[in-house]
């Protein structure tokens, strides 16, 4: 696809700037992807084979090597969304809006994974899938907040309107996160419920290493997904704007023909350009 240079206020020289590739992969992402894939294989080996089973939890502890990294990535993703929303409002750059959107999608998936892996772990250890633990509850609310954010993004609108709407929705949601966290914690402390066992500081060396490896690998995975999702969103936008440009050219040609066939009336040209303006909205 030979796309026209993007007309916007985005900083040029970015990975997907002018002369953007027609696909989302590049040398850099291929390297990143390979490293991530190798890391995932290594993580699987360490998590399932090399690291020992825990005394109390048995093999269920192995879920921690996915559960904790997904949670870390989920929170990071939402932080990036919040930062992207704020920076869009400040810089009005399409770039930041797309970063916020891409990161939110990944964040939602990883939050859901965090909850699911937590539930699968909770069933054998606590005997229940769900408990109204403070962290569980606030994570579930976080997921819902950002599902709302994604829902408002999906409402069709002009890019500028949609971006502003999304940026504010993102910020309103983010402002809520500490209040939710605090209130749920406090609510929970009044009700004696089982709490998640905190990460034991005297954790076995190999287990700690596996956990750290998991976090690093998942951060790489996040980065890889983010770059691809961002480029995809960028290409989508370019496609939409190039379609619009083509439609505009067509209408202009029609309008020119109309003025040639009926030259004198000056108002008809004005009307035609009015139609173009209408069509471009």
Partner 1 sequence: MFRDAWLVAGKDLRLEARSRVTTNQVAPFAVTVLILFAFALDPDSDVLERATAGLFWVAVLLSSLLALQRAFTVESVDGNRDALRLSGLEPAGIFLGKACAVAAQLIVLEVVLGIGVVVLYDATLAGPLLLGATCLAATAGLAAAGTLYGVLAAGLRVRDTLLPLLLFPVVAPVLIGGTRAFEAALGDVPGEGWPWVGLLCVFAAVYTAFGVLAFGPILEES
Tell me how far CA of residue 75 lies from CA of 8, 16, 112, in angstroms: 30, 25, 12
Q: How far is the CB of 141 from partner 1 (least distance, A)?
A: 5
Over the window 156 to 175, marking each residue x when it contacts partner 1 by CB under 8 A and - when it does not, the resulting string is -x--xx--xx--xx-xxx-x
User: Contact between 151 and partner 1 (CB under 8 A)?
Assistant: yes
Q: How far is the CB of 168 from partner 1 (least distance, A)?
A: 5
**Distance in angstroms (rounded) separating the CA atoms of residues 81 and 71:** 15
Tokens of 187: 């609510």
- Interface residues for partner 1 in 82-121 (CB under 8 A)? 89
**Distance in angstroms (rounded) separating the CA atoms of residues 88 and 66:** 32
Which of these ranges, 39-47, 50-58, 179-187, 252-260, lies near partner 1 under the rule CB under 8 A? 179-187
Listed in sequence order, the DSSP H helices in the chain are 27-45, 64-91, 94-126, 134-154, 159-190, 205-261, 266-280
User: Contact between 277 and partner 1 (CB under 8 A)?
Assistant: no
Which of these ranges, 16-24, 38-46, 49-57, 141-149, lies near partner 1 under the rule CB under 8 A? 141-149
Q: How far is the CB of 157 from partner 1 (least distance, A)?
A: 8
Please name which of 74, 84, 281 lies closest in space to residue 166, comparing C-alpha atoms: 84
Tokens of 14: 């970015």
Q: How far is the CB of 17 from partner 1 (least distance, A)?
A: 27
Cα 267 to chain centroid distance, Å, stands at 49
Q: How many C-beta atoms lie closer than 10 Å to residue 218's C-beta?
A: 26
User: Contact between 184 and partner 1 (CB under 8 A)?
Assistant: yes
Choose which of 55, 190, 260, 277 interacts with partner 1 (CB under 8 A): 190
Please name which of 90, 103, 78 lies closest in space to residue 176, comparing C-alpha atoms: 78
User: Contact between 147 and partner 1 (CB under 8 A)?
Assistant: yes
Interacting residues with partner 1 (CB under 8 A): 89, 141, 144-145, 147-148, 151-152, 155, 157, 160-161, 164-165, 168-169, 171-173, 175-176, 179-180, 182-184, 186-187, 190
């Amino acid at each position: 696809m030979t796309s026209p240079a993007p007309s916007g206020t985005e900083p040029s020289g970015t990975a997907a700037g002018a002369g953007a590739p027609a696909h989302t992969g590049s040398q850099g992402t291929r390297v990143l992807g390979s490293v991530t894939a190798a890391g995932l294989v290594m993580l699987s080996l360490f998590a399932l084979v090399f690291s020992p089973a825990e005394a109390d939890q048995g093999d269920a502890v192995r879920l921690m090597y996915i559960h904790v990294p997904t949670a870390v990535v989920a929170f990071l993703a939402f932080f990036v969304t919040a930062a992207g929303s704020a920076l869009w409002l400040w810089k009005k750059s399409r770039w930041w809006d797309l970063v916020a959107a891409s990161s939110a999608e990944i964040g939602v998936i990883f939050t859901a994974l965090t909850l699911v892996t937590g539930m699968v772990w909770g069933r054998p250890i606590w005997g229940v899938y769900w408990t109204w633990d403070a962290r569980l509850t606030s994570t579930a609310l976080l997921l819902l907040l950002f599902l709302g954010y994604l829902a408002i993004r999906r409402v069709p609108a002009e890019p500028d309107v949609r971006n502003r709407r999304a940026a504010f929705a993102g910020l309103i949601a983010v402002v809520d996160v500490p209040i939710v966290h605090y209130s749920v914690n406090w609510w929970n402390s009044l009700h004696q419920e089982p709490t998640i066992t905190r990460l034991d500081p005297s954790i076995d060396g190999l287990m700690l290493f596996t956990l750290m490896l998991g976090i690093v690998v998942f951060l790489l995975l996040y980065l890889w997904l983010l770059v691809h999702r961002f480029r995809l969103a960028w290409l989508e936008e370019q496609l939409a704007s190039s379609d619009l440009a083509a439609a505009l050219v067509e209408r202009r040609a029609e309008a020119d023909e109309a003025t040639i066939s009926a030259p004198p009336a000056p108002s008809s040209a004005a009307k035609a350009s009015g139609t173009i303006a209408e069509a471009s909205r």
